[in-house]
Structure 1
Amino acid sequence: MTRNEAREILMQILYEMDATGSMDHETAARLTSERLTGNNRERGLNILNGIVDQLEQIDGKINEKSRSWKTSRMPKVDLAIMRLAVGEMMVDDQLPEAVAINEAVNLARKFSMEKSSRFVNGVLGAIVNSDE
């Protein structure tokens, strides 16, 4: 399993956790153990646990930089993609921010609406620029 494949699965897990209202460590552990293998399982669980622990902070950053939609109203796929990207940047010091953003944009192109990739890119870029 490649890191890109693992990232797609993590986005799907985040979407599922949000849709079912189960953003917790137990659900993250169960779903990563069912769907990820090898090093991707450990890395994925670390990212998901970081997102669960800092969900309010992550959503606050997204809300602050999103001009048109707040997290409560934005498409859930876009929200899962942005949460994953911000979570990866927070947990993985070795991952360049530009790579995290690019991967998020690619996920938006693959799984979301036509305009979503620009939206995701704009919000994540604004978050990174404000953190510098």
Structure 2
Amino acid sequence: MKLNKVHHVAIICSDYKSSKHFYVDILGLKPLKETYRKERISYKLDLALGNEYVIELFSFPNPPKRLSYPEAAGLRHIAFQVHDITEAIEELELKGIKTEPLRIDELTGKKFTFFSDPDGLPIELYEV
């Protein structure tokens, strides 16, 4: 088997309206298709970064909380690359999103930071 690339990341949110606003209006991802699944009382929103499909945003009634701190075993976070991390941080802060202090990757020397989505999911920005 040869894997080609990551196809998408699935995110389950507790408040669909809030999370949709965050991923579309704050982060600027492009909605591709929105589906309401009546039998599951659930929305599914397919989101793209540029023209590339990257995230499936799901809503379910009363999903259990995700443990982020302390870090639990399993998938840790989603990371987006940016060309100017200082500019990206300033834009997030203007939109009311707080970021962690800027850090330097000790292995690559690149700058990065973290912030959270409405459910506390850690999101990384990594400067390339």
User: For the superposition of Structure 1 and Structure 2, which TM-score range results when normalised by the shorter chain?
Assistant: under 0.3
**TM-score in terms of structure 1 length:** 0.27
**When you count strand as a share of all residues, which structure comes out higher?**
2
Higher helix share: 1
Indicate the structure (1 or 2) with the bigger Cα radius of gyration.
2
